[in-house]
Amino acid sequence: MFADRQKYHRRRMASLVGCEHYVRRCLLKAPCCGKAYVCRLCHDAEEDHQMDRFLVKEVQCSVCTTVQQAQQTCVECNVTFGEYYCDICHLFDKDKKQYHCQPCGICRIGPREKYFHCEKCNLCLAGDLRGNHKCVENVSRQNCPVCMEDIHTSRIGAQILPCGHLLHKTCFDDMVQTGAYRCPLCMHSAWNMEHNWEQMDKEISQSPMPTEYQDATVKIICNDCQTHCMVPFHVLGMKCSGCGSYNTAQNGGLIRQSREPQPQEPEQQPQSPLPEP
């Protein structure tokens, strides 16, 4: 019982300014267990189940402790629970130019005029990506391929790759730090690699293969343009003849060119000494 009072006291004190996730002056009454938490994320971290934000009906004022219907202003002491309030998501927070996107089904950080909702991707994207991105149907409904956590409702920003797939921004940064440069889903290059390919050209030109491999070729598939081609084999990398990328995969073993046998000079037979006259 004492432990429960301590937990409530911590939640109560935190709710006077909000929590690590949101700035607000109220507690949400969880529709699942009836307990009061500053936000759904705080609830989910403490409990063995998740709170459905859309089912929240009541909140408790952090100033006067009055339990009431979810709304922006306390009916008892008139304190404002949050500068921003969405009566669909029951999101209270300081003003970050948030807006509720109906097709996404959740609130996004705006301002709204700088974003648009792509119908095929089913996701809000920055305005400069309108007509300037590769659509992948319902792309954000897939989990992040690095951490396998949700992307669509995550508070972590998403990184849009040239192939159209999404990663959490933090996961993308971690991936770059390890030296990985390909999308974990389709293996397409995750950013413009032209400078890297130029460096590869120089390294290969300065590192000739041993004589027995200089005429060897290999079949490859390019992960960037999907071209199938046959190119010279080199241990440092095989360059796509279609787009110049080194983001390629070997398709089969080495093909060695047969060398024409060199003509040999006939052996000279030893001559016997001429007889003396």
Q: What is d(CA 126, CA 111) in angstroms, rounded to the nearest whole number?
A: 10
The pLDDT of residue 6 is above 60: no
The upper half-sphere exposure of residue 71, i.e. CA atoms within 13 Å in the direction of its Cβ, equals: 10
Residue 13: per-residue pLDDT = 47
Range with lowest mean pLDDT among 39-48, 141-150, 262-271:
262-271
For the segment 21-40, the average pLDDT, to the nearest whole number, is 96
Residue 100: per-residue pLDDT = 97
The pLDDT of residue 93 is above 90: yes
Residue 214: per-residue pLDDT = 87
Residue 267: per-residue pLDDT = 53
Q: Is the pTM of this model over 0.75?
A: no
Q: What is d(CA 100, CA 109) in angstroms, rounded to the nearest whole number?
A: 9
Model pLDDT for residues 223-261, shown as the tens digit of each residue: 999 999 999 999 999 999 999 999 999 998 888 775 555
Q: What is d(CA 210, CA 248) in angstroms, rounded to the nearest whole number?
A: 22
pLDDT averaged over every residue in the chain: 89
Model pLDDT for residues 199-212, shown as the tens digit of each residue: 999 999 999 999 98
E strand intervals along 82-236: 84-86, 91-93, 98-101, 106-109, 115-118, 123-126, 158-160, 166-168, 217-222, 228-232
Nearest to 114 by CA among 132, 134, 99: 99
Residue 261: per-residue pLDDT = 52
For the segment 19-37, the average pLDDT, to the nearest whole number, is 95
Residue 255: per-residue pLDDT = 87
- Per-residue H/E/C for 218-271: EEEEECCCCCEEEEECCCCCCCCCCCCCCCEEECCCCECCCCCCCCCCCCCCCC
